[in-house]
Structure formats: structure tokens, C-alpha cells
Amino acid sequence: MITLNSMTKPSSKADFSSFMFSTEILNVIKKAGYEHPTDIQLEAIPPVLDGKDVLARAETGSGKTATYVLPLLENLSTKNIYRQSKLYNKFNGIDRAKSNCVQVLVLVPTRELAIQICDVFKQFSENIKPEIKCLSVYGGVKINPQMMALRSGTDILISTPGRLLDLVSQNAIKFNQIKALVVDEVDRLMKGDFQEEINKIMKLLPNKRQNLMFTATFPDSIRSLVREEMNNPEIVNMDEFVEEVPIEQRVITVNHNKKNDLLAHLLNKYDWKQVLVFCSAKKTCDNLVIKLAKRDIEAIAMHGNKEQSARSAALRDFKSGKIRILIATDVAARGIDIEQLACVINFDLPRSPNDYVHRIGRTGRAGQTGQAISLIAHHEYHHFTVIEKHNALRLKREQLKGFEADEIAPPMPRSKPKKKAKSKKSALKKNSIVEKNNDEKKIKSIPSKANEKDFEETAVNAHIWGKR
């Protein structure tokens, strides 16, 4: 079964054959079970095939990966349409990557996404001769095998920014054969440490190249990137195609020290087939797994401190349905594409309001109504209103019987007293905890008369994907 977000399901009966793909590519499209192009594919494939730059607004689940994978493979394949056009020299037909060289570079924020996209390239290039080589590289694993793999060159390289720069510093990679650059999830890549790395990478690439950028949001940071790096891009904005898909969003106020109990209660009470629980810290993920296990609830944690093999196994088991509950940080959960994921729970709120949308967008896919539940304690009340404001939302706060948030926040846990004499630094830290507690006491909870029955009956249906 194919997982396609219903908000972007094909709205036309157009056919893939209208794109003039070669038979090799058309056959694999058919084999994948794609009947009609999605809206983004319909709009963006033609300019990509023409070698133009494309900036597209696209969410995971819109069919965006195939939007660039298919035409780029076409452009690299023997049946290259550029052979008949003036762009032939730009793409040079049947060229294959020379030693340590790359023809198409795809930048992504996470290892999971890199692996996932590499699989899509492999899936759709299976009929192409001479074979198109595709490789994914990412941090957290040994660099030597990646350097070895790059020796013979790769036509397509999917990489996280940091590892790409490591490979460059090892002279393992040359960019002089680059024909196209794809930046997937640009909004994620244009913030924090990633942004600096992306800027460094841009300076290393040859100017003459096709640029394809995909993003779910348009923060200011990507405007300058577009201005500086893209050449008169075709703008593919999905807004006008957005169909409202109800994601039932619930916000439950709770004391911070009751969150574990509330989570366990919800997991036991509701018959969700699969649940993705988001935490902000790796340690919280691990602790939650232990706390839930004590209540006979099996869950698995996935975060950046886990070995790559453990992360891949967790993802595989979750995707196959072997694991019911996955507890993950934002970074680790990026790119998770699960068909019919019933529920997303924000155990902690995401720092960025954009991430709230990314998180809850993991549910409500494949035409199913999904649920997104945020458990908010007193110190998160204000931040949640910021998230709401940013995403044009206003959600009702609910209280669950037995888990009602107190009027005044209970004290936050103190760090364990140290046996040895405290340094100046830890004394300072302690003071800041006391100040924080005082601040929290000032925050009053939002009064709500809702009991659990009310909660179930009045859960808010908010349409976050609608036009704002």
C-alpha cells in the first residue's frame, strides 16, 4: 500500500506518460503503483525535466521525493530528453560519475531521510542502463567505508551537511561534475548549525547547476539562500491545492509530575494502532521507555545517541507495525513516513512552532483522520500559545479526570544534592532553578470545567492545513 497524504492526493487524472518519461522510468512508476501524479508532481516535474531551478513548498507525504527523483533519473539516463535539446551539453547524456565525483547532490537533515531517499532513487533506477550509482552518507557511522564507496564516484549522493563537509576535508569528494543540487527540507537545513554548513557547501559547488529546493515553510533564512543560489526558480506553491484534512488536535493541561501517568493512561485507554511520542530530550525518551515498561507498556526510544543500527531497527520495526509505541526526539523522527499513524503525542512541546506542524503532520496521512495530543504543563502554557499564534490555531485546553492540572505549578524537581563541596558554577545553577520555580508559581493554570467525558466529546477538530 502506498502512503500518500490525502491533502495532496492527485486532483487531476493526468498521466505520468504526459511527462515524456522513457519506458524504463514509466515501467517502474507503474510497478510502484503510482497511477496519477500528485499536484506537486504535476507542477514541478516538467520544469525539473527542463533543467530549470524549482522552489517548491511541499510537506512529507505530498509525493515530493518522486517529484525530483523521477526527472533527475530521466535527465541522467540513456533516454535523456536533453539529448534532443540545447541542454544536452549541460547534462551530457549518458555520462556516469568519474572517480570521487558526484552528478546529483541531495542534502537532507537526517540519516533516516538520506537512507529513505537513496532507496527511492534505487527503486526507480532499476531499469536504467548503464547503471546509475546512488549512495547515502551521514554522520554517526565510520567515515572510511563511505570514503571507499566514493572512490569510484557516485551519480547520486544523498548526504547530511556535516558528513559531506567531513568527506570534503578528507578529499574524498569532488564537485566539478555536479549537474544538480537538491536541498530537501530547506527550512530545517537553514537553521542552527546546519545553516552554517549549508552556506559552506554552497561555496564549494560550481555555479552552473540546476537547483531544486523543497520546504514546508518559508522562513526568512531561506529567502536569502534562494536569492543567492537559485537562478530564476519556478515557484511551486502548494497552497492553492491544499485540501483540509482534519487532524484532531487535543491539548491537555497537566502537572509536569503527572505527565508519565497521563501518558500511560492514554496509551492504555485508547486503542491506537500505533503512536509516535515526541520528547525534547534524549534522556526523557529513555526514561519514558523505562517508566512505561514498569506499567507493562512496551515502547522503544529513538534519538541521536542511539547507534545507527538501533535507530534503523527501531524505525523498521515501527514501520512494519512490530512496535506500537515509538518515543523519539524531533531530529530522529524526521522523515518517518508511516501509513495510517493513528496518533502523535507531544509529551514535550517542540521548541519551534514549525516543528509542531511537522510533528502532527506525521498523523492524518493516507486519507485517515489522525489525532495529535499535546500534554502541557504549567511551564509550557505560554509556549503553546506562541505555537498556536504562529500556526493560526486556537485550541481548547482540556483537563482529564484524575490528572487535572493544579492552579499553581507544583515545584520542579531539584537536582540531587552533591556529596562534595559545590563549585561556584553549581551554586549558580541551583539559584537559577529556584528562580525558575518561583516564576512557574506565578503561572496560573487555564481553568477548565472539562471532565474526561467532556474531553472525549469536545475534542477539538482543528484544520491546521487550511489557508491562513
Q: Which CB sits closer to ligand AMP, 32 or 149? A: 32
Q: Which CB sits closer to ligand AMP, 120 or 377? A: 120
| Ramachandran area for residue 232 (φ above 0: left; ψ -120 to 50: alpha; else beta) | left
Q: Which CB sits closer to ligand AMP, 45 or 266? A: 45
The least distance separating ligand AMP from the CB of residue 195, rounded to whole angstroms, comes to 23
CB 276 within 8 A of CB 343: yes
* Beta-bridge partner residues of 174: 101
Q: Which CB sits closer to ligand AMP, 239 or 296? A: 239
> Residue 87 corresponds to which cell in the numbers above?
541542454
Q: Which CB sits closer to ligand AMP, 65 or 374? A: 65
The least distance separating ligand AMP from the CB of residue 91, rounded to whole angstroms, comes to 23
Q: Which CB sits closer to ligand AMP, 331 or 433? A: 331
The least distance separating ligand AMP from the CB of residue 4, rounded to whole angstroms, comes to 4
The least distance separating ligand AMP from the CB of residue 238, rounded to whole angstroms, comes to 11
Sign of the CA dihedral with 317 first, then 320, 321, and 326 last:
positive
Amino acid at 166: D
The least distance separating ligand AMP from the CB of residue 179, rounded to whole angstroms, comes to 21
Half-sphere exposure of 28 (CA within 13 A, CB side): 19
**Start-to-end Cα distance in the chain:** 32
Contact residues: ligand AMP, CB under 6 A: 2-4, 34, 37-38, 41, 60-66, 337
Q: Which CB sits closer to ligand AMP, 122 or 430? A: 122
Whether omega for the bond prior to residue 130 falls within 30 degrees of 0, making it cis, is yes
The least distance separating ligand AMP from the CB of residue 187, rounded to whole angstroms, comes to 15
> Could you give the angle at which helices 220-229 and 192-204 cross, rounded to 10 degrees?
0
3-state secondary structure of 238: helix
3-state secondary structure of 341: coil
Per-residue DSSP letter, 23: H
The least distance separating ligand AMP from the CB of residue 82, rounded to whole angstroms, comes to 23
Q: Which CB sits closer to ligand AMP, 51 or 63? A: 63
Measured CA distances, 402 to 288, 450, 460 (Å): 20, 12, 21
The least distance separating ligand AMP from the CB of residue 435, rounded to whole angstroms, comes to 44
Residue 328 and residue 47: Cα distance in Å, rounded? 37
Strand ranges for 108-260 from DSSP E: 134-137, 154-159, 180-184, 210-215, 234-236, 247-253
Give the count of beta carbons closer than 10 Å to the beta carbon of residue 232.
Answer: 6
